[in-house]
């Protein structure tokens, strides 16, 4: 499972006119979530979910940056 985080603007600056289609073609079988400005892989989603669960259980704060 690859570590995937790609902003569509970055691909557009590289000359790729249809970033979502490009990513879908490149990561066919992988679980990738397509958001409005970027896409993230399952590994990142799992890490964020784990962090949110920890914050909820400990009633604390977290700073999540990618």
Mean pLDDT for the chain overall: 87
pLDDT of residue 17: 92
Provide the pairing of β-strand 5-7 with 32-34: unpaired
Q: Which two tokens stand for residue 66?
A: 């990618």
pLDDT of residue 55: 93
Per domain, the residue ranges of the chain are: 5-58
pTM of the shown model: 0.68
């Amino acid at each position: 499972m690859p570590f995937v985080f790609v902003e569509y603007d970055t691909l557009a600056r590289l000359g790729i006119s249809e970033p979502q289609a490009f990513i879908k073609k490149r990561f066919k079988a992988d679980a990738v979530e397509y958001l409005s400005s970027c896409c993230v892989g399952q590994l990142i989603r799992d890490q964020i979910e784990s962090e949110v669960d920890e914050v909820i259980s400990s009633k604390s704060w977290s700073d999540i940056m990618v």
